[in-house]
Copies of this chain bind each other. A is one copy, B any other.
Amino acid sequence: MKALGKKVWVIPDGYIPSEGSMSIPGHECLCIVNTGDVDAKVKLTVFFEDRDPLESDYFVVRAKRTIHAWLNRPELIGNLVIPREVPYSLVVESDQNIVVQMSRLDTRLGNMALLSVIGFPVE
Determine chain A's interface SS by DSSP, over half rule: strand
**Looking at chain A, what size class is its interface with the partner chain?**
35 or more
- Asked if A66 and B88 make an inter-chain contact with CB atoms under 8 angstroms apart, the answer reads yes
Copies of the polypeptide in the assembly: 4
- Whether a CB of chain B sits under 8 angstroms from the CB of A64 is yes
- Asked if A66 and B89 make an inter-chain contact with CB atoms under 8 angstroms apart, the answer reads yes
- Whether a CB of chain B sits under 8 angstroms from the CB of A78 is no
| 17 A-B pairs in the complex with CB atoms less than 8 angstroms apart | A4-B91, A5-B10, A11-B101, A12-B101, A14-B66, A15-B68, A23-B108, A33-B91, A35-B47, A47-B64, A52-B64, A53-B64, A111-B112, A113-B113, A114-B114, A115-B116, A118-B120
